[in-house]
Amino acid sequence: MTTAALSTALATIQPVFTDAERFALAGFLAGYRGLTREAYTLDLRQFTAWCRARSLNLFAVRRADIEGFARDLEARGRARATVTRRLCTIAGFYKYAVEEELLDHSPAAHLRRPRVDYESHAVALDRNELGALLVAAGLGSPAEHALISLLALNGLRVSEATSADIEHLGLERGHRTLTITRKGGKVVTIPLAPRTARAIDLAIGERTDGPMFLAADAGGWTGTAPGGSSARSPATPASARPSRLIRSGTRSSRLRWMPGSRCATCRRPPRTPIHAPRCGTTGPAAAWTGTPRTSSPHT
């Protein structure tokens, strides 16, 4: 019976990146922050994984290799804008390496990029659909109405609206204002539409600090009113709720108007009581019962 001899030799593990490549990656990403840095990190992670699968070092890549990476992205069904952004990130990385004298020349200096159609083909809401969306939001919770008003009437991004705090509300030259942080960390103060200001007042209630929109759980928007009572009205059965605007299952589908909904320009009073907007000096107004006015008989 023969026994196999055990080898005591140590296997040498080659590092994924050289010191110069690691320095270039860290230095390039250090120049950005937030979502931009996350996007560039994803682009470089995919490119380095593609190079590693083909046993290519980052600083040994040639122009033909980068174009092969672009063709591979197109073969996997990536959009032209996505491919162009990936190539721009790669070109910026190699440009940084050349500027830091870590590389003699950039292999992406004369790289051809896909031609992008800058005309947007996204289907947006028209005037009637936007009005219907605001009506549906007004029939929901105050937080939903305030959020939709900020997005639709003031044009805020979702991240800008959800990160706003109550302390950022202000008054300037007789106009209600909100201070937000734009993309790239730029802080600006915007005037609020009157309808948006009223919706925010109803959403925050008596709270004077903290986030404008509280976290939502399975039961809806959370929050407590003064005295410990729940700030949210009791849940309404699904059969008693009014019809809303719903979106079809496909991503590119338009909003569809469901039976039972009212037009945005309809002058008929709603069937459910709606609280009047709160005034900044007199406090909340009484609830309106929604009873239509009747004309007096002719005499």
The tally of CA atoms less than 13 A away on the side-chain side of residue 284 is 13
> Kindly report the CA angle at 268 between 246 and 292, in degrees rounded to 5?
140
Q: What is the pTM of this model?
A: 0.52
Write down the pLDDT at residue 251. Answer: 36
**Residues 133-148: pLDDT tens digits?**
999 999 999 999 999 9
Compute CA 225 distance to the chain's CA centroid, rounded to the nearest angstrom.
29
246's enclosing H/E stretch is strand 246-247
**Residues 94-140: pLDDT tens digits?**
999 999 999 999 999 988 888 877 676 667 788 899 899 999 999 99
Q: What is the mean pLDDT of residues 211-236?
A: 48
**Where do the CATH 1.10.150.130 domains begin and end in the chain?**
19-99
The pair of three-digit structure tokens given for residue 282, joined into one six-digit string: 């007199």
User: If you classify domain 19-99 with CATH, what class do you get?
Assistant: mainly alpha
**Domain 125-216 is of which CATH architecture?**
Orthogonal Bundle (1.10)
List residues bridging with 55 in a β-sheet: none
Higher pLDDT, 175 or 240: 175
**Where do the CATH 1.10.443.10 domains begin and end in the chain?**
125-216
